[in-house]
Protein backbone atom coordinates (compact mmCIF):
# COMPACT_ATOMS: atom_id res chain seq x y z
CA UNK A 1 0.00 0.00 0.00
CA UNK A 2 1.42 3.42 -1.02
CA UNK A 3 2.32 5.88 1.71
CA UNK A 4 -0.01 8.80 2.23
CA UNK A 5 1.38 12.13 1.20
CA UNK A 6 1.67 14.81 3.91
CA UNK A 7 -1.02 16.95 2.31
CA UNK A 8 -3.27 13.87 2.02
CA UNK A 9 -2.80 13.16 5.70
CA UNK A 10 -3.72 16.73 6.52
CA UNK A 11 -6.86 16.52 4.39
CA UNK A 12 -7.73 13.15 5.96
CA UNK A 13 -7.25 14.51 9.49
CA UNK A 14 -9.46 17.50 8.66
CA UNK A 15 -12.12 15.19 7.21
CA UNK A 16 -11.95 12.90 10.27
CA UNK A 17 -12.37 15.89 12.57
CA UNK A 18 -15.47 16.94 10.64
CA UNK A 19 -16.85 13.42 10.90
CA UNK A 20 -16.25 13.35 14.67
CA UNK A 21 -17.97 16.70 14.99
CA UNK A 22 -20.88 15.44 12.92
CA UNK A 23 -21.16 12.31 15.02
CA UNK A 24 -21.10 14.46 18.14
CA UNK A 25 -23.92 16.55 16.74
CA UNK A 26 -25.92 13.41 16.04
CA UNK A 27 -25.35 12.09 19.58
CA UNK A 28 -25.79 14.94 22.05
CA UNK A 29 -25.12 14.37 25.72
CA UNK A 30 -28.08 12.95 27.60
CA UNK A 31 -30.23 15.60 29.28
CA UNK A 32 -30.93 15.46 33.03
CA UNK A 33 -34.53 14.56 32.25
CA UNK A 34 -33.46 11.66 30.04
CA UNK A 35 -31.03 10.43 32.70
CA UNK A 36 -33.76 10.55 35.36
CA UNK A 37 -36.09 8.53 33.13
CA UNK A 38 -33.27 6.06 32.53
CA UNK A 39 -32.53 5.81 36.27
CA UNK A 40 -36.20 5.29 37.15
CA UNK A 41 -36.52 2.57 34.51
CA UNK A 42 -33.39 0.81 35.77
CA UNK A 43 -34.72 0.96 39.32
CA UNK A 44 -38.05 -0.55 38.26
CA UNK A 45 -36.23 -3.36 36.47
CA UNK A 46 -34.17 -4.23 39.56
CA UNK A 47 -30.91 -2.66 38.40
CA UNK A 48 -30.25 -0.22 41.26
CA UNK A 49 -26.48 -0.01 40.76
CA UNK A 50 -26.88 1.22 37.19
CA UNK A 51 -29.77 3.45 38.28
CA UNK A 52 -27.49 5.08 40.86
CA UNK A 53 -24.95 6.04 38.19
CA UNK A 54 -27.59 7.64 35.96
CA UNK A 55 -29.23 9.51 38.85
CA UNK A 56 -25.88 10.89 40.03
CA UNK A 57 -25.12 12.11 36.52
CA UNK A 58 -28.50 13.82 36.43
CA UNK A 59 -27.83 15.48 39.80
CA UNK A 60 -24.44 16.76 38.62
CA UNK A 61 -26.10 18.37 35.61
CA UNK A 62 -28.99 19.83 37.60
CA UNK A 63 -26.75 21.10 40.38
CA UNK A 64 -23.28 21.68 38.90
CA UNK A 65 -22.09 23.69 41.93
CA UNK A 66 -22.36 23.16 45.66
CA UNK A 67 -25.14 25.76 45.78
CA UNK A 68 -28.49 23.98 46.46
CA UNK A 69 -31.13 24.44 43.79
CA UNK A 70 -34.79 23.39 43.55
CA UNK A 71 -34.06 21.95 40.10
CA UNK A 72 -32.17 19.14 41.83
CA UNK A 73 -35.26 17.86 43.71
CA UNK A 74 -36.23 15.07 41.26
CA UNK A 75 -32.69 13.68 41.31
CA UNK A 76 -32.39 13.86 45.08
CA UNK A 77 -35.66 12.04 45.65
CA UNK A 78 -34.79 9.37 43.12
CA UNK A 79 -31.34 8.94 44.69
CA UNK A 80 -33.06 8.41 48.02
CA UNK A 81 -35.26 5.65 46.62
CA UNK A 82 -32.36 4.00 44.83
CA UNK A 83 -30.30 3.90 48.04
CA UNK A 84 -33.23 2.36 49.87
CA UNK A 85 -33.24 -0.41 47.26
CA UNK A 86 -29.46 -0.78 47.63
CA UNK A 87 -29.79 -1.19 51.39
CA UNK A 88 -27.97 2.04 52.19
CA UNK A 89 -30.32 3.89 54.59
CA UNK A 90 -27.72 6.50 55.55
CA UNK A 91 -27.30 7.70 51.95
CA UNK A 92 -31.07 7.53 51.44
CA UNK A 93 -31.71 9.72 54.49
CA UNK A 94 -29.05 12.17 53.34
CA UNK A 95 -30.74 12.53 49.94
CA UNK A 96 -34.25 12.95 51.37
CA UNK A 97 -33.09 15.47 53.98
CA UNK A 98 -31.35 17.47 51.24
CA UNK A 99 -34.62 17.45 49.29
CA UNK A 100 -36.57 18.62 52.33
CA UNK A 101 -34.09 21.45 52.91
CA UNK A 102 -34.94 22.69 49.40
CA UNK A 103 -38.70 22.13 49.73
CA UNK A 104 -39.73 22.22 53.38
CA UNK A 105 -43.48 22.20 52.66
CA UNK A 106 -43.58 19.75 49.78
CA UNK A 107 -44.80 22.45 47.43
CA UNK A 108 -42.59 21.38 44.53
CA UNK A 109 -42.48 17.60 44.61
CA UNK A 110 -45.05 16.37 47.10
CA UNK A 111 -45.05 14.15 50.15
CA UNK A 112 -42.85 11.18 49.25
CA UNK A 113 -39.67 12.43 50.91
CA UNK A 114 -41.49 12.95 54.23
CA UNK A 115 -43.07 9.48 54.10
CA UNK A 116 -39.74 7.87 53.30
CA UNK A 117 -38.02 9.64 56.20
CA UNK A 118 -40.77 8.46 58.55
CA UNK A 119 -39.75 4.90 57.73
CA UNK A 120 -36.00 5.53 57.61
CA UNK A 121 -35.74 7.73 60.68
CA UNK A 122 -33.13 6.38 63.10
CA UNK A 123 -34.74 7.80 66.21
CA UNK A 124 -38.15 6.27 65.43
CA UNK A 125 -41.01 7.00 67.78
CA UNK A 126 -42.21 10.58 67.89
CA UNK A 127 -39.86 11.65 65.08
CA UNK A 128 -41.34 9.06 62.73
CA UNK A 129 -44.86 10.20 63.65
CA UNK A 130 -43.84 13.79 62.90
CA UNK A 131 -42.67 12.88 59.38
CA UNK A 132 -45.78 10.77 58.73
CA UNK A 133 -47.99 13.66 59.84
CA UNK A 134 -46.10 16.08 57.59
CA UNK A 135 -46.63 13.76 54.65
CA UNK A 136 -50.35 13.48 55.43
CA UNK A 137 -50.58 17.28 55.63
CA UNK A 138 -49.02 17.66 52.17
CA UNK A 139 -51.27 14.97 50.66
CA UNK A 140 -54.41 16.53 52.11
CA UNK A 141 -53.40 19.88 50.63
CA UNK A 142 -52.86 18.28 47.24
CA UNK A 143 -56.25 16.56 47.40
CA UNK A 144 -57.92 19.85 48.25
CA UNK A 145 -56.20 21.51 45.29
CA UNK A 146 -57.24 18.73 42.93
CA UNK A 147 -60.83 18.80 44.09
CA UNK A 148 -60.89 22.57 43.59
CA UNK A 149 -59.78 22.42 39.96
CA UNK A 150 -62.17 22.83 37.04
CA UNK A 151 -60.99 19.52 35.56
CA UNK A 152 -63.70 16.88 35.48
CA UNK A 153 -63.67 14.62 38.52
CA UNK A 154 -63.42 11.54 36.28
CA UNK A 155 -60.09 12.77 34.96
CA UNK A 156 -58.57 13.20 38.41
CA UNK A 157 -60.18 10.18 40.08
CA UNK A 158 -57.06 8.00 39.81
CA UNK A 159 -54.82 10.74 41.22
CA UNK A 160 -57.21 11.29 44.13
CA UNK A 161 -57.42 7.56 44.89
CA UNK A 162 -53.63 7.26 44.87
CA UNK A 163 -53.20 10.16 47.29
CA UNK A 164 -55.93 8.83 49.59
CA UNK A 165 -54.24 5.45 49.61
CA UNK A 166 -50.96 7.11 50.62
CA UNK A 167 -52.73 8.98 53.43
CA UNK A 168 -54.27 5.73 54.65
CA UNK A 169 -50.88 3.98 54.59
CA UNK A 170 -49.24 6.86 56.47
CA UNK A 171 -51.98 6.77 59.13
CA UNK A 172 -51.46 3.02 59.45
CA UNK A 173 -47.75 3.76 59.92
CA UNK A 174 -48.61 6.15 62.76
CA UNK A 175 -50.80 3.49 64.39
CA UNK A 176 -47.98 0.94 64.16
CA UNK A 177 -45.54 3.36 65.83
CA UNK A 178 -47.96 3.74 68.73
CA UNK A 179 -48.24 -0.05 68.96
CA UNK A 180 -44.46 -0.43 69.16
CA UNK A 181 -42.03 2.43 69.85
CA UNK A 182 -44.58 4.61 71.66
CA UNK A 183 -46.70 1.89 73.26
CA UNK A 184 -45.72 3.23 76.70
CA UNK A 185 -47.42 6.59 76.03
CA UNK A 186 -50.58 7.07 78.11
CA UNK A 187 -52.63 7.90 75.02
CA UNK A 188 -51.04 5.27 72.76
CA UNK A 189 -54.20 3.16 72.42
CA UNK A 190 -56.38 6.20 71.70
CA UNK A 191 -53.89 7.44 69.08
CA UNK A 192 -53.90 3.99 67.43
CA UNK A 193 -57.68 3.93 67.28
CA UNK A 194 -57.86 7.49 65.93
CA UNK A 195 -55.28 6.84 63.21
CA UNK A 196 -56.80 3.60 61.96
CA UNK A 197 -60.35 5.02 62.10
CA UNK A 198 -59.30 7.95 59.91
CA UNK A 199 -57.50 5.57 57.54
CA UNK A 200 -60.68 3.51 57.15
CA UNK A 201 -62.67 6.66 56.41
CA UNK A 202 -60.13 7.93 53.86
CA UNK A 203 -59.73 4.60 52.02
CA UNK A 204 -62.62 2.28 52.93
CA UNK A 205 -61.84 -0.10 50.03
CA UNK A 206 -58.17 -0.49 50.95
CA UNK A 207 -56.94 -3.73 52.59
CA UNK A 208 -54.14 -2.11 54.62
CA UNK A 209 -56.25 -0.18 57.19
CA UNK A 210 -58.30 -3.32 57.90
CA UNK A 211 -55.06 -5.25 58.34
CA UNK A 212 -53.79 -2.61 60.79
CA UNK A 213 -57.11 -2.71 62.62
CA UNK A 214 -56.69 -6.47 62.98
CA UNK A 215 -53.21 -5.97 64.43
CA UNK A 216 -54.62 -3.56 67.02
CA UNK A 217 -57.42 -5.99 67.92
CA UNK A 218 -54.92 -8.85 68.34
CA UNK A 219 -52.88 -6.69 70.74
CA UNK A 220 -56.14 -6.06 72.65
CA UNK A 221 -56.83 -9.85 72.72
CA UNK A 222 -60.03 -9.32 70.72
CA UNK A 223 -59.47 -12.25 68.36
CA UNK A 224 -63.00 -12.41 66.95
CA UNK A 225 -62.81 -8.76 65.92
CA UNK A 226 -59.33 -9.35 64.47
CA UNK A 227 -60.58 -12.32 62.43
CA UNK A 228 -63.48 -10.25 61.10
CA UNK A 229 -61.14 -7.44 60.03
CA UNK A 230 -58.72 -9.85 58.35
CA UNK A 231 -61.53 -11.59 56.50
CA UNK A 232 -62.84 -8.26 55.21
CA UNK A 233 -59.30 -7.19 54.22
CA UNK A 234 -58.61 -10.37 52.22
CA UNK A 235 -62.01 -10.26 50.52
CA UNK A 236 -60.96 -7.01 48.81
CA UNK A 237 -58.21 -8.66 46.73
CA UNK A 238 -57.95 -12.46 46.95
CA UNK A 239 -60.08 -13.02 43.83
CA UNK A 240 -58.23 -10.36 41.82
CA UNK A 241 -56.02 -11.09 38.83
CA UNK A 242 -52.27 -11.28 39.64
CA UNK A 243 -51.49 -7.88 38.07
CA UNK A 244 -54.39 -6.07 39.75
CA UNK A 245 -53.05 -2.89 41.44
CA UNK A 246 -55.45 -3.37 44.38
CA UNK A 247 -53.41 -6.37 45.58
CA UNK A 248 -51.22 -5.31 48.53
CA UNK A 249 -47.48 -5.36 47.96
CA UNK A 250 -45.34 -8.37 48.87
CA UNK A 251 -44.14 -7.16 52.28
CA UNK A 252 -47.69 -6.21 53.31
CA UNK A 253 -48.89 -9.72 52.50
CA UNK A 254 -45.98 -11.21 54.44
CA UNK A 255 -47.20 -9.19 57.44
CA UNK A 256 -50.74 -10.35 56.70
CA UNK A 257 -49.69 -14.00 56.88
CA UNK A 258 -48.15 -13.38 60.30
CA UNK A 259 -51.35 -11.72 61.52
CA UNK A 260 -53.45 -14.60 60.19
CA UNK A 261 -51.29 -17.04 62.12
CA UNK A 262 -51.59 -14.94 65.28
CA UNK A 263 -55.37 -14.88 64.81
CA UNK A 264 -55.37 -18.68 64.48
CA UNK A 265 -56.40 -18.50 60.81
CA UNK A 266 -53.72 -20.89 59.59
CA UNK A 267 -55.64 -22.16 56.55
CA UNK A 268 -55.97 -18.61 55.20
CA UNK A 269 -52.33 -17.90 56.06
CA UNK A 270 -51.03 -20.87 54.05
CA UNK A 271 -53.15 -19.76 51.07
CA UNK A 272 -51.50 -16.34 51.18
CA UNK A 273 -48.04 -17.85 51.56
CA UNK A 274 -48.46 -20.31 48.69
CA UNK A 275 -49.45 -17.36 46.49
CA UNK A 276 -46.38 -15.43 47.64
CA UNK A 277 -44.06 -18.36 46.88
CA UNK A 278 -45.66 -18.60 43.45
CA UNK A 279 -44.66 -14.98 42.85
CA UNK A 280 -41.17 -15.25 44.33
CA UNK A 281 -39.73 -18.63 45.29
CA UNK A 282 -36.61 -17.02 46.79
CA UNK A 283 -38.38 -15.34 49.72
CA UNK A 284 -36.73 -16.76 52.83
CA UNK A 285 -39.40 -15.32 55.11
CA UNK A 286 -42.27 -16.77 53.06
CA UNK A 287 -40.74 -20.28 53.15
CA UNK A 288 -40.12 -19.92 56.90
CA UNK A 289 -43.65 -18.75 57.68
CA UNK A 290 -45.14 -21.47 55.48
CA UNK A 291 -43.18 -24.15 57.31
CA UNK A 292 -44.20 -22.75 60.67
CA UNK A 293 -47.83 -22.42 59.59
CA UNK A 294 -48.03 -26.03 58.39
CA UNK A 295 -46.49 -27.11 61.69
CA UNK A 296 -49.20 -25.20 63.57
CA UNK A 297 -51.90 -26.90 61.49
CA UNK A 298 -50.34 -30.28 62.30
CA UNK A 299 -50.24 -29.38 66.01
CA UNK A 300 -53.98 -28.71 65.94
CA UNK A 301 -54.48 -32.23 64.57
CA UNK A 302 -52.60 -33.89 67.43
CA UNK A 303 -55.73 -34.21 69.56
CA UNK A 304 -57.14 -36.60 66.95
CA UNK A 305 -53.94 -38.67 66.98
CA UNK A 306 -54.62 -39.34 63.31
CA UNK A 307 -51.14 -39.77 61.86
CA UNK A 308 -52.54 -40.18 58.33
CA UNK A 309 -53.54 -36.52 58.56
CA UNK A 310 -50.61 -35.31 60.65
CA UNK A 311 -47.68 -36.93 58.81
CA UNK A 312 -48.25 -35.25 55.40
CA UNK A 313 -48.55 -31.86 57.11
CA UNK A 314 -45.31 -32.38 59.02
CA UNK A 315 -43.46 -33.53 55.92
CA UNK A 316 -44.71 -30.52 53.98
CA UNK A 317 -43.65 -28.29 56.88
CA UNK A 318 -40.21 -29.91 56.85
CA UNK A 319 -39.84 -29.23 53.10
CA UNK A 320 -40.76 -25.55 53.48
CA UNK A 321 -38.31 -25.12 56.35
CA UNK A 322 -35.51 -26.90 54.48
CA UNK A 323 -36.04 -24.58 51.50
CA UNK A 324 -35.94 -21.63 53.89
CA UNK A 325 -32.62 -22.70 55.40
CA UNK A 326 -31.04 -23.46 52.01
CA UNK A 327 -31.90 -19.96 50.81
CA UNK A 328 -30.77 -18.53 54.15
CA UNK A 329 -27.30 -19.98 53.60
CA UNK A 330 -27.18 -19.12 49.89
CA UNK A 331 -28.10 -15.46 50.40
CA UNK A 332 -26.21 -15.06 53.72
CA UNK A 333 -29.39 -13.82 55.37
CA UNK A 334 -28.87 -12.07 58.71
CA UNK A 335 -32.04 -12.74 60.73
CA UNK A 336 -30.57 -15.05 63.35
CA UNK A 337 -33.84 -15.40 65.27
CA UNK A 338 -35.59 -16.67 62.14
CA UNK A 339 -32.85 -19.25 61.57
CA UNK A 340 -32.87 -20.39 65.19
CA UNK A 341 -36.64 -20.93 65.14
CA UNK A 342 -36.54 -22.68 61.75
CA UNK A 343 -33.78 -25.00 63.05
CA UNK A 344 -35.80 -25.70 66.20
CA UNK A 345 -38.95 -26.54 64.24
CA UNK A 346 -37.07 -28.68 61.72
CA UNK A 347 -35.35 -30.67 64.47
CA UNK A 348 -38.69 -31.40 66.15
CA UNK A 349 -40.33 -32.41 62.86
CA UNK A 350 -37.52 -34.70 61.66
CA UNK A 351 -37.67 -36.36 65.08
CA UNK A 352 -41.21 -37.46 64.17
CA UNK A 353 -41.16 -38.07 60.40
CA UNK A 354 -37.43 -38.37 59.73
CA UNK A 355 -35.28 -36.41 57.27
CA UNK A 356 -36.36 -35.72 53.71
CA UNK A 357 -35.59 -38.43 51.16
CA UNK A 358 -37.17 -36.69 48.21
CA UNK A 359 -39.24 -39.75 47.28
CA UNK A 360 -42.35 -38.80 49.22
CA UNK A 361 -42.37 -35.09 48.32
CA UNK A 362 -45.12 -35.07 45.65
CA UNK A 363 -47.31 -37.47 47.63
CA UNK A 364 -46.95 -35.34 50.77
CA UNK A 365 -47.94 -32.16 48.98
CA UNK A 366 -51.06 -33.83 47.61
CA UNK A 367 -51.95 -35.34 50.98
CA UNK A 368 -51.37 -32.05 52.81
CA UNK A 369 -53.54 -30.22 50.30
CA UNK A 370 -56.29 -32.78 50.81
CA UNK A 371 -56.09 -32.26 54.56
CA UNK A 372 -56.26 -28.48 54.15
CA UNK A 373 -59.26 -28.77 51.82
CA UNK A 374 -61.01 -31.08 54.24
CA UNK A 375 -60.42 -28.67 57.12
CA UNK A 376 -61.77 -25.72 55.13
CA UNK A 377 -64.85 -27.78 54.22
CA UNK A 378 -65.35 -28.51 57.90
CA UNK A 379 -64.94 -32.27 57.55
What integer pLDDT is reported at residue 291 of this predicted model?
98
The pTM for the full model equals 0.83
Residue 186, Cβ density class (10 Å: 0-12 exposed, 13-18 middle, ≥19 buried) = exposed
Q: What is the pLDDT of residues 329-347, one digit of tens each?
A: 999 998 999 999 999 999 9
Query: Whole-angstrom Cα distance, residue 10 to residue 15?
Result: 9
Query: Whole-angstrom Cα distance, residue 52 to residue 99?
Result: 17
Per-residue pLDDT of the chain (379 residues; tens, 9 = 90+): 444 444 444 444 445 545 544 444 445 578 999 999 999 999 999 999 999 999 999 999 999 887 888 999 999 999 999 999 999 999 999 999 999 999 999 999 999 999 999 999 888 799 999 999 999 999 999 999 988 876 667 678 888 999 999 999 999 999 999 999 999 999 999 999 999 999 999 999 999 999 999 999 999 999 999 999 999 999 999 999 988 988 999 999 999 999 999 999 999 999 999 999 999 999 999 999 999 999 999 999 887 777 888 999 999 999 999 999 999 999 999 899 999 999 999 999 999 999 887 665 555 445 555 545 544 454 4
Residue 313 phi, psi dihedral angles, 5° rounding: -65, -45
Alpha-helix runs per DSSP H in 206-354 = 207-219, 223-235, 250-262, 266-279, 284-301, 307-330, 336-353
Contact 272, 257 (CB under 8 A): yes
What integer pLDDT is reported at residue 342 of this predicted model?
98
What integer pLDDT is reported at residue 1 of this predicted model?
43
Q: Note the residue count of the chain.
A: 379
What integer pLDDT is reported at residue 151 of this predicted model?
66
Using alpha carbons, select from 53, 36, 107, 40 the residue that is nearest to residue 99.
107
Domains in the chain, ordered, with CATH? 250-379 (1.25.40)
What integer pLDDT is reported at residue 149 of this predicted model?
78
Q: Which residues contact 153 (CB under 8 A, 6 or more apart)?
A: none
Q: Which residues contact 219 (CB under 8 A, 6 or more apart)?
A: 179
Measured at the alpha carbon of residue 176, what is the angle toward residues 115 and 194, in degrees to the nearest 5? 95
What integer pLDDT is reported at residue 13 of this predicted model?
46
- What is the SS3 string spanning 60-125? HHHCCCCCCCHHHHHHHHHHHHHHHHCCCHHHHHHHHHHHHHHCCCCCCCCCHHHHHHHHHCCCCH
Query: Whole-angstrom Cα distance, residue 119 to residue 174?
Result: 10
264: how many CB neighbours lie within 10 A of its CB? 13
Q: Cα–chain-centroid distance for residue 378?
A: 35
Q: Which residues contact 272 (CB under 8 A, 6 or more apart)?
A: 234, 253, 256, 257, 260
Amino acid sequence: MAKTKPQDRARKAKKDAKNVAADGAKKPKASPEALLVQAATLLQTSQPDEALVAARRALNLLQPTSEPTVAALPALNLLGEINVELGDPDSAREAFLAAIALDTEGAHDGAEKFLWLAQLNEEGGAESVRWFEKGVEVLKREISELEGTIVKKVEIADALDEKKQKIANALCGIAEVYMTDLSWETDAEARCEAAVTEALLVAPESPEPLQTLASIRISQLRLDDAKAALTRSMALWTDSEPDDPTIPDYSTRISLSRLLMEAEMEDEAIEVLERLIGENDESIEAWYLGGWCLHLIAEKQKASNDMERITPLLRASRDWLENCLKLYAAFEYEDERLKAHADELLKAITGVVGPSTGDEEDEDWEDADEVDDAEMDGT
